[in-house]
Amino acid sequence: MQALFATYGLTKSNLGVCSSRPLIVAALFAKITCGVILLATLTAAQADNHVRLVAFGDSLIAGYGLPVEDGFVAQLEKALTEKGHTVEIFNAGVSGDTTAGGLDRVDWVLSEQYSGVILHLGHNDAFRGIPVDVIHSNLDAMIASIKQRGLPVLLTGAMAPRNLGADYYLAFDAIYPQLAEKHDLVFYPFFLEGVATNPDLNQDDGIHPNQSGVAYIVEQLLPYVDQLIERIK
């Protein structure tokens, strides 16, 4: 019994002058109850701080051509964890996906419970020369659907190939800042900033980043993901 008292910090002094068995049991029960409540409170606080992000997009999100651990989602989750965030990131990237494909599947993806969304789509639309107004409309509808669920969004921009002509690429590039302003999003202007056209940071196809390229993207993107997490909290 004395060992049990010591475990829960009970002494004659904090039990009072009366040392009857009912009082001892009551004091012990109170200590145990407080411990259980404290543990439950800490667990709830940890759950409240646990962030579940979904990265929604194309092959750049999916990690095309890379082992899972070298892809964008895995590297970003690791970097955020090292910064002290309690975070999970779910990979909803589909190689070759367009804004139309994203719009078709966004409601299905968001049937799971997430805290926020990282959105990157549009490169494949530009490669196919899809009209800019169609791309704008698809992204606008996707963002509206996400925000309807009360989820904050980090939108990452794309740039159209310059061989499509100035009229096209200027209109395409402007889609992302326009939508970011309209919907009050966290906005990173160009997903491939510092990586596009750099052979040291890309796979042999010259389009998809290699492990080092993804690491560079993650490093540049981290402050914007921090902003997203702040909006969640």
pLDDT digits (tens, 9 = 90+) for 88-133: 999 999 999 999 999 999 999 999 999 999 999 999 999 999 999 9
Distance CA 61, CA 143 (A): 17
Task: Identify the active-site residue in 58, 59, 120, 173.
Answer: 59
Strand order across the beta sheet in which 87-93 lies: 87-93, 51-57, 116-120, 153-156, 186-188
Convert the pLDDT of each residue in 148-197 to its tens digit: 999 999 999 999 999 999 999 999 999 999 999 999 999 999 999 999 99
Distance CA 158, CA 192 (A): 8
**Is 145 in the active site?**
no
Q: If pLDDT is split at 50, 70 and 90, which confidence band does 43 have?
A: very low
Are 86 and 104 a contacting pair, CB within 8 Å?
no
What's residue 49's pLDDT? Answer: 76
Who wins on pLDDT, 79 or 45?
79
Q: Which residues pair with 153 in a beta bridge?
A: 117
The mean per-residue pLDDT over the stretch 61-67 comes to 98
**Is 183 in the active site?**
no
Task: Give the type of residue at 110.
Answer: L
What's residue 30's pLDDT? Answer: 45
Task: Identify the active-site residue in 50, 145, 208, 212.
Answer: 208
Task: Identify the active-site residue in 167, 200, 204, 205.
Answer: 205
**Is 205 in the active site?**
yes
Residue 213 has pLDDT above 90, yes or no: yes
What's residue 34's pLDDT? Answer: 41
What's residue 28's pLDDT? Answer: 41
For 100, residues 6+ apart whose C-beta sits below 8 A from its C-beta are 125, 130, 134, 138
Token output for 56 = 């929604």
Residue 14 has pLDDT above 90, yes or no: no
